[in-house]
């Protein structure tokens, strides 16, 4: 990114998610997250610091995960991404919603579903 060029919110969301998957979680949070914000992942305690710790643990467990964004949509202060995450043999379709204030993520939702090996729907997950 050239000095003086601002990233749009969609670019920030994509960069944040890619840094997390690469294991650069501290950098991702430092650059792109307002730690006073909140997340809605039902499996982890409230607060971005708890989600950050969970992301670090996930990276230790799956250091070679593959993350492929299929769609990213931005509207006003929200960005939605639809992605494929591959964890070894396991494949997941994951949707993130990120709400921004002042260029930082202040609220995040993430939902996912495992993609079975045999799909009854010929259209697939994407």
Mean pLDDT, range 97-118, rounded to an integer: 96
Residue 120 in domain: no
Domain holding 71, by residue range, is: 9-114
The CATH number given to whatever domain includes residue 53 is: 3.10.450.50
- Spatial neighbors of 59 by CB under 8 A, at least 6 apart, are 20, 21, 23, 25, 65
Residue 121 lies in a domain: no
Tens-place pLDDT, residues 71-82 = 999 999 999 999
pLDDT-based confidence at residue 7 (cuts at 50, 70, 90): confident
Whether 97 is covered by a domain: the verdict is: yes
Q: How many structural domains are present in the chain?
A: 1
Higher per-residue pLDDT: 2 or 112: 112
pLDDT value of residue 6:
62
Q: Are 32 and 16 in contact (CB under 8 A)?
A: yes
What are the tokens at 74?
């931005």
Q: Is the dihedral of CA 48, 73, 16, 54 positive or negative?
A: positive
Q: Is residue 90 part of a domain?
A: yes
Whether 54 maps to a domain, the answer reads yes
Domain assignment present for 88: yes
Q: What is the pLDDT of residue 35?
A: 98
In a domain, residue 84? The reply is: yes
1 lies in a domain? Answer: no
For residues 49-63, give the mean pLDDT.
Answer: 96
């Amino acid at each position: 990114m050239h000095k003086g060029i601002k990233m749009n919110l969609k670019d920030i969301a994509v960069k944040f998610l890619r840094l997390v998957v690469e294991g650069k979680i501290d950098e991702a949070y430092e650059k792109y997250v307002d730690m006073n914000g909140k997340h809605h992942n039902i499996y982890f305690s409230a607060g971005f610091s708890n989600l950050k710790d969970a992301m670090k643990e996930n990276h230790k467990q799956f250091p070679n995960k593959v993350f492929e964004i299929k769609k990213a949509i931005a509207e006003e202060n929200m960005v939605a991404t639809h992605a494929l995450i591959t964890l070894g043999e396991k494949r997941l379709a994951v949707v993130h919603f990120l709400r921004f204030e002042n260029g930082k993520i202040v609220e995040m939702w993430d939902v996912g579903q495992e993609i079975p090996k045999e799909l009854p729907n010929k259209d697939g997950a994407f």
